[in-house]
Each structure stands twice: as structure tokens, then as C-alpha cells.
Amino acid sequence: MDTAKCTISTFLLLVLAGCATVDTRWQKAVSTDKAQAYEAFLKKHPDSDYTVRARESIESLHWQEAMSTDKIQAYNAFLKRHPDSEHAVSARLKVESLHWKEAVARNSLLGFKQYVEHNSDGRHVDEAKQRIEEFRWKEATLFDMIHSYEEFLSAYPSSRHSSDAAARLKVLEWEKVKRINTRAVYDALLLKYPSGPLSAKVLAELETCAKIVPSMTNPITYHPWDNDGWEYDYTVRFAGNNKGQTTVFHLPSIINGGLSLLFQSGF
């Protein structure tokens, strides 16, 4: 009987000692009031009566740290640790606000694009997209090339700059077909713009030219001039568009593989 009482007493003493140890460690963590102290306590006593309070204290301290730092990385770190926290909504709003502040400060196409990518439902998305559009328009006018205006119109068909982009595009396309000056490019432009001022210009050009060099594999026509032994003369006629005149290339005297070229015009 005495042995049994001794065993019980020893057990009670150990329990009390254990409780005293938990309480002591908890009080130490509270007095320190650092996230690391509460985390150390939870590691030793994951299921104690203080577990919930320890986790709440850790979350609160992490939030205070993020607010004090006030950086995107700090808020993202908080959200990663506490995705279901009561401060999660505030943290996300802070991240978006800082992204916008950063984009405005940079004032660049890349900055506003990054804001939209990171904050697809953000409060400033519409304004960011408008600024992106303006940067794209500046790019198009800076390059001032057919493809730059085509890309802008494809991306922003209803932009306030659409009419200017379309007008400049037609000017550049007209300049291009005039440089190339084949029937194929005129026909392609007429197919793209079947009506309107530009189509009228194309039709007028086709009408005033005696003939426009067709776009063919071999547009050159030629015939023998003379044939006397080893000597050959060729006249190669190209249709021109200089007031209906015809340009003539005269290739005389191909002798023993030699070739001379004389250029004449106005024939």
C-alpha cells in the first residue's frame, strides 16, 4: 500500500512539474514577444493550452513586421505564411497599391504591363490599359512603318488613334506600291481597299500607265535582231510607266562569251 501511494505521489509531482515547465516556457515566450520565441514554444508544446494564442501572436507579429517594412515582398511573405489570415485582404490591397505606385513612378510600357499581369482585377487596371495603349501608339508613330500601324490597329481597333493609324497606313502602303510598281501590288492594294480615295488612286494609276510590268516568273520578252555566225544582237523591251514611254535594253555582239550592255531610253 505504501508503495502504491508513493508511485501516485511521484506521478502527481511529475505532472505538476510538467505543467510548471509549460507555464514557465509560455511566460518566457510572452515576455520575449517575438515570433521566434512563440515558434520555439510551439515546437516543444504543439498541443498545449497555449497553442492557439501562440499562433495568433505569431500572425500578429508577422503582420506588424509587414506593415512596418511596407514592401511588396514583405506582404507576399505574410500571405504565403498566413493565406487565411484576417489581414489577408488588407495585405493583397497593399500589394496592388504598391505595384501601382511603382508603375506610375516608372511611367513605362513595361511597368504598366507588369501591373496588369500581377493585378488582373486591380482597382487601376482600366487606367493601366489606357496608358499601355498610349505607349503602343507612340511606338507605332516612332517606327512609322506599315507593320507597326497594322499591329496597333489589330490590338486597338476602337482606339481614339484608329483613324490616324489607318490614314498613315494607307499613305505608307501607297508609297510602297509606287516603289515596287508591278500590276500584282496594285491589284493587291485594290483588293484590300475596294472603295474609297485610295482605290480611286490605284484605278487612276492603272488607267494612266500604258502598261505596268506584270509580276511573273519571267517578264522579259526578247527577239533576235541579227544572226551572223557568232554574233547575236537582242533588244529586250520592258513596259515602262514614265508617260507611256518604253525603255529598251540593247544587248549587242555576244561574241565568244563576251557581253556588253548599252542602255537606251525613250524608244
Q: Per-residue confidence at 207, pLDDT binned at 50, 70, 90?
A: confident
54 — pLDDT class (breaks 50, 70, 90): very high
Is residue 245's pLDDT more than 80?
no
pTM of the model: 0.64
Has residue 127 been placed in a domain? no
What would the pLDDT profile of 87-122 be if each residue is shown by its tens digit? 999 999 999 999 999 999 999 999 999 999 999 999
If DSSP codes are grouped into helix, strand and coil, which group holds residue 256?
Answer: coil
In a domain, 238, yes or no: yes
Residue-wise pLDDT for 115-158, tens only, equals 999 999 999 999 999 999 999 999 999 999 999 999 999 999 99
Number of domains in the chain: 1
* Predicted pLDDT of residue 239: 44
CA-to-CA separations, 188 to 171, 174, 193, 239, in angstroms, rounded: 15, 11, 9, 20
Q: Residue 70's pLDDT is what?
A: 96
The packing angle between helices 109-118 and 125-143, to 10°, is: 150
In a domain, 242, yes or no: yes
Whether 200 contacts 188, CB under 8 Å: no
Using only C-alpha atoms, what is the Rg of the chain? 42
Is residue 30 assigned to a domain?
A: no
Q: How confident is the model at residue 175 (pLDDT cuts 50, 70, 90)?
A: very high
Work out the mean pLDDT of the chain and round it to a whole number.
Answer: 79
Residue 139 within a domain: no
Report how far residue 168's alpha carbon sits from residue 159's, in angstroms, rounded to the nearest whole number. 15
Q: What is the pLDDT of residues 4-51, one digit of tens each?
A: 444 544 444 344 444 558 888 899 999 999 999 999 999 989 989 999
258 found inside a domain: yes
Instruction: Give the structural domain span for 240.
Output: 221-265
| Tally of CB atoms within 10 A around 211 | 13
Segment 184-196, tens digit of pLDDT: 898 999 999 998 9
User: Is 142 part of a structural domain of the chain?
Assistant: no
